[in-house]
Structure 1
Amino acid sequence: MAKGVIVVGSFNVDHVWSVATLPRPGETLAGEYRSGPGGKGFNQAVAAARSGAAVRFACALGDDAGGQLARGLAAADGIELHALDSSAPTGTAGIYVDREGRNSIVIGPGANAMLSAAHVRGLGSCLAEAGVVLAQLESPAEAIREAFALARDHGAVTLLNPAPADAEVPPELWALTDLATPNETEFCTQLQRLRVAADPATVAGLADAELHALCRRLLPHGTVVVTLGAAGCFVSHAPGSLRGDRAACYRQPAPRVDAIDTIGAGDAFNGALAAALALAPGASFAGHAARAVHYAALSTERRGAAAAMPRAHELTGRFGDFSDNDRSPLPIP
């Protein structure tokens, strides 16, 4: 029986303005407004659920319309909600998206900042049924640390998406992380905290050996997947732990799509990757990475965050079956 995914993270009500260009300081622009569900945690939970995994979502919600929205949407996608009731308002996000699909985001944490280690401990027996525990950094580090410690006790894979970039990752949380999935900015920010020079503008163009070496500095004991937007992703495994792959590092290109909105694409990648790892733990990691890259690409053809997450049949209908896919290269002799 396949194990499920536990996501520990945030729920936000997204307020989104579509504009021709992103606003500059002091500039007022006219745009098209819409609102919908978001938050990195909830986006990833929806992506994992729509990818076919059984999902539990641990979060904190306010006693308001946003909290009611989260509960209704979680039920609609079959997500088992473990919500801490907070006196703070449900989290919010203000988002601008330009005509090229680029975005700028400001988060109001609200109840998300109230998620506690004690509440996470309440997951208890649920961890025995989890294959993957996935978290981001829009929730307090102590809650994530507790979730990862419990995951380790129960033999689940810990998957950390170190986002947003300005959030710090305590050393003890890195020590509990099996896989990390930063984008270029998050990757370089975390390296800079280790006093390693790195430039987000040049990451995608680095030689594989150089990028692999930087990944080993960030997480020496685990797997690092650097997401590269339209360029796909770069996978770097620790020595002796290739997760079914044939090479320690390689790139997974992204398919060509008609992107209109990149909000939530990183979350789509993480949710799809977590689901793949939970549903087929013995399959090659390269196949999981390929599925996640294609899933994230497909999500950019729709507007919104959680609402844009594709369903499994839409992914296979567009790109085929990834179940036996191993796209990692053979090691160089």
Structure 2
Amino acid sequence: MSSQARSKKAKQAAAQVVVVGSYNQDMVWQGARFPQPGETRMGRFFSGPGGKGFNQAVAAARLAARTGFIAAVGRDPLGDNAAALARSENIDARWQLCSEATGTAAIWLDGAGQNMIIVAPGANALLSPAQVLAQRELIEQARVLLTQHEVHPVASLRAIEVARAAGVTCIHNPAPSSDSPQVRALLQAADIITPNETEFCDLLRLFEVEVNEQALAAADAAQLHTWCRMLPTATIALTLGAAGVFVSQASPAGEDPPFFRTPAAAVNVVDTTGAGDAFNGGLAASLASAPGRNLQQHVAFAVQVAGCAIESSGAAQAMPTLAEVERRFTG
């Protein structure tokens, strides 16, 4: 067998999607409405696994993409639980064990499924470039790399640099918004970015373009495309909640248009907490597992995944399987 054939065989057996990102234990309080400052309200509590990185890795794995995960957790029971959960989801997790506590997130949900979140990153902030580079082979053999803003930005940047050098498609989810000086470099290095409305406006401000969310909501497709082209990433998938997704491309492939909209899935909203992570995991899984699809089809699939996720409570627990997505939308 030639070295090229061996390399191809190894890539087929390796992780198709590699996520470099966060693990958080989610602590969720749900009530009919959010309390006002100084107000106490009754509600209910539940806890489960989360973190943008882990949610996205679970989404990709449940959609039948072989998935690797590079992350940091504390030497504590929550970290032990994270490792067990990754194994149960058939995720090839590569953990950096830290002295800081495993990350946590406090999530408030109202009766309409809207959320407010505070994240304590803990060990996530200590994910090191050295840990990422130690997993170079895992990244190089993947088809898609997915990163976010919940770990040290230099670690994400190193992962993208390794992936780009190996010809791996790089998706960067610039969430939550960050004022790190590495953000510009991350935007330039990624093939695709996936901001929501708030994150998109914050990114534009880095380039001295002032747009608010109200103007964004009122803009037509041509104006959205103009704003997208002010950022240095080739493809932007702007998630707009109930308004769906707007995609802008610098160099469309095949018959793909330079920009297009994909409507949101018609679903019964229960909990929007993991919607963006479901979309990102779905997009990564589709790009990795179904290379014959065009970008419009990849995005439409990711929107369906997000739609399924918000019909259930929780973050990682709400990520749907491939069978569930197919049954929900094609069954």
**Which TM-score bucket, shorter chain as reference?**
over 0.9
Name which of 104, 112, 117 aligns with 1:100.
112
Note the alpha carbon deviations across 1:248-287, whole angstroms, 9 max, x for none.
0010001211111000100000000001111123420000
Whole-angstrom distance in 2 between the partners of 1:147 and 1:138: 14
8 Å contact from structure 2 (residues 98, 123) kept in 1: yes
Tell me what 1:33 maps to: 45
One-letter code aligned to 2:196? N
1:199-232 per-residue CA deviation (whole Å, 9 max, x = no partner) reads: 113323311000001111123x410000011121
Structure 1 SS opposite 2:210 = coil
Preserved CA contact (<8 Å) 1:55 1:80: yes
* TM-score in terms of structure 2 length: 0.93
2:31 aligned with 1:24, yes or no? no
The answer to whether the Cα contact below 8 Å between 2:18 and 2:145 also exists between their aligned partners in 1 is yes
Distance 1:174 1:258 in 2: 34
Structure 2 residue 197 is matched with structure 1 residue 180 = no
Distance in 2, matches of 1:245 and 1:20, equals 47
Count of residue correspondences: 318
TM-score, scaled relative to structure 1: 0.92
The equivalences for 1:100-119 within 5 A come to 100-119=112-131
1:163 matched to 2:175:
yes
Alignment RMSD, CA only? Answer: 1.4
Aligned partner of 2:77 in structure 1 is 65
Q: What's the CA shift for 1:27?
A: 2.0
Query: 292-301 or 171-180, which moves further after superposition?
Result: 171-180
Which consecutive segments of 4 or more residues in structure 1 shift more than 3 A? Answer: 166-169
Residue of structure 2 in register with 1:145 after alignment: 157
Tell me the equivalent position of 1:326: none
Q: Secondary structure at the match of 2:229?
A: helix
| Alpha-carbon distance in 2 for matches of 1:245, 1:278 | 20
Aligned to 1:207: 220
Letter in 2 for 1:176: A
Partner of 1:300: 310
State which of 312, 320, 331 in structure 1 corresponds to 2:330. 320
What's 1:51 paired with? 63
1:23 Cα deviation from its structure 2 partner: 2.3
Is 1:83 matched with 2:71?
no
Within 5 A, what are the aligned runs for 1:271-282? 271-282=281-292
Which consecutive unaligned segments of at least 5 residues does structure 1 have?
322-333
Structure 1 residue 172: Cα displacement: 2.0
Contact 2:149 2:178 in 1 (8 A): no
Unaligned runs of 5+ in 2: 1-11
Partners of 1:62 and 1:86 within 8 A in 2: yes
Q: Name the CA distance, whole Å, in 1 between partners of 2:277 and 2:115.
A: 14
Q: Does 1:12 align with 2:24?
A: yes
Q: 2:8 corresponds to which residue? A: none
Of all paired residues, the percent bearing the same amino acid is 46
Give the structure with the higher percent helix.
2
| Structure-1 separation of matches of 2:244 and 2:143 | 25
Counterparts of residues 258-269 of structure 1 (less than 5 Å)? 258-269=268-279
2:26 is paired with a residue whose SS is strand
TM-superposed deviation, 1:320: 2.2
1:244–1:283 Cα contact (<8 Å) kept: no
